[in-house]
Amino acid sequence: MPATIEIPTTLAHAKGAYTATASFGGLASQANLVLDTGSSSLAVLTRVYDPGQDAHVQATSLVQEINYGGGAWAGPVVRSTLGFGHGHHARRLPEVPFGVIESEAPVLRQADGIWGLAYRDLNPAYDVAALLASQGSQSSLSWPWPFPQGHALDLAGLRTRLQTQPRTHLEPAFTALEDEGIVSNRFAMVIGRAVVHVAESASSAAEAASAQLNEGRLVLGGGRELQHLYQGAFHPVRVLHDHYYNINLRAIRVGNEAPIIVPALPASEQATRYSNALLDTGSSFLVLDATVFEAVLAALGRRNPDFPALVARAQEALTRDEGVPNHLIDTRHWPDLHVTLEAPDGSDTELRVPASHYWPKNALKAGQSLCLLMSQLPHFRGQTILGLPLMAGRYVAFERDVGTEGRIAFADLRPTA
């Protein structure tokens, strides 16, 4: 019978995303991996995993080049042993395919790699055997890595070359766990905050409290039965497509204002982009459709004329990896956001985002607040990315085995002692 595996998670490494520990290869090299429902690839940095030291490694002729909203990476695909969990929750899988990041690292901060929890279509790889032969290589394998590394690697140029090579899709690691019967086709996450909390005081008590604020949980193969992790009713959301976790965002209400109606994707784009919103644990932000973002700013300005300028100041500071001083942001005076999503039965599910979740204090650095509202990314035109601020303070169950496309259900976290 499939097990339920609980794995501790933390914001301490990636700072704006939760990581879980996994082990790679015969030496069980430990890596802290970003948990990302906005992608599907499993990849690890060479600083923690060296294929040359792994007696279990199997080289392939495949290469991955993966582009995110905040960075990209490239490297060979190898196969080796993969381990998850600790103690009686420990499980190991042989011959799992994963990428070894040889380019300059994407924005992982102190994390060691990434674990994509979405679906197969977001896990492409390219067979470079013919490309290597055309360059006079005696090997058809992508490892040892036959291209430049780090800063020397022209990612855009490599991407152009790869697009002419045969393409395939790798089985995501979570799918492999489910296919092997190790876990059921569902998982859940405990999300406390959207960005790492840094203690203002150097005292051990303050640091301990800060560490607790940064802790979370990944539950593989489980969901609603883990009642020690949540309280109250679940609020279900319909998943429209198993590409990303595509959902339908209907409206956003700022405080007591009238709802801002969110436009649907044009019919001409629904066949390729599926919905107007994505649920993404790899994003620290609520990245709003451009027209919706402007409407939210206008509503904040009606609440207080100074608010839009504070948002703009925070966004400019973020380009330097900084926020604004805590004393400038009193979240008691900022309105909550109310996000309306389509439920599985076609009705509305409304989720409240407290101001303290989109304006977290002591975020990244002690004494500063970050604004986690952004306008849309260029390659997600007309789409909103609902990241960790929506999930903060919640237990989020990704019930992939329900119906055709699955559903996502939100419940409030049970307070810890």
Instruction: Give the H or E element holding residue 109.
Output: none
pLDDT higher than threshold 80 for residue 363: yes
Query: Which tokens in the block code for residue 227?
Result: 């009642």
Residue 96 vs residue 241, higher pLDDT: 96
For residue 64, which of 127, 106, 121, 130 has the smallest C-alpha distance? Answer: 127
Report, in this order, helix, strand and coil percent for the chain, each rounded to 5: 20, 35, 40
pLDDT at 416 over 80: no
Go through 174-183 and write b for each residue having 16 or more CB atoms within 10 A of its CB, e for each that does not.
bbbbbeeebb
Q: Which of 391, 393, 388 is closest to 372 using CA atoms?
A: 388
Residue 65 reports pLDDT greater than 70:
yes
| Confidence at residue 382, expressed as pLDDT on a 0 to 100 scale | 85
Neighbours of 38 (CB within 10 A): 21
Q: How confident is residue 403, by pLDDT bands cut at 50, 70 and 90?
A: confident
Residue type, 58: Q
The whole-angstrom separation of Cα 255 and Cα 237 is 22
For residue 104, is pLDDT > 90?
A: no
* pLDDT value at residue 202: 64
H or E stretch at 84: strand 71-84
- For the segment 351-371, the average pLDDT, to the nearest whole number, is 97
Domains of the chain with bracketed CATH = 5-179 (2.40.70.10), 234-413 (2.40.70.10)
- Percent of the chain, pLDDT > 70? 98
Residue 243 has pLDDT above 90, yes or no: no
Closest by Cα among 85, 103, 97 to 56 = 97
- d(CA 289, CA 386) in angstroms, rounded, equals 11
- The string of pLDDT tens digits covering residues 268-325 is 888 888 999 999 999 999 999 999 999 999 999 999 999 999 999 999 999 999 999 9
CB-CB neighbours of 309 under 10 Å: 11
pLDDT the model gives residue 207:
72
Predicted confidence (pLDDT) at residue 381 exceeds the cutoff of 90: no
Q: What is the pLDDT of residue 205?
A: 64
- Looking at residue 109, its amino acid is R
pLDDT of residue 90: 83
For the chain, what percent of residues have pLDDT higher than 90? 82
Q: What are phi and psi of 33, to 5 degrees?
A: -105, 130
DSSP 3: B
Residues in the chain: 417
Query: What is the overall mean pLDDT for the chain?
Result: 93
Q: Using CB atoms within 10 A of its CB, is residue 199 exposed (0-12), middle (13-18) or buried (19+)?
A: middle
- Please list, residue by residue across 318-339, b when 16 or more beta carbons sit within 10 angstroms of its beta carbon and e when fewer do: beeeebbebeebebeebbbbbb
- Which of 158, 262, 190, 167 is CA-nearest to residue 35? 190
| Neighbouring residues of 127: CB distance < 8 A, sequence distance ≥ 6 | 61, 62, 165, 166, 167, 168
d(CA 56, CA 104): 26
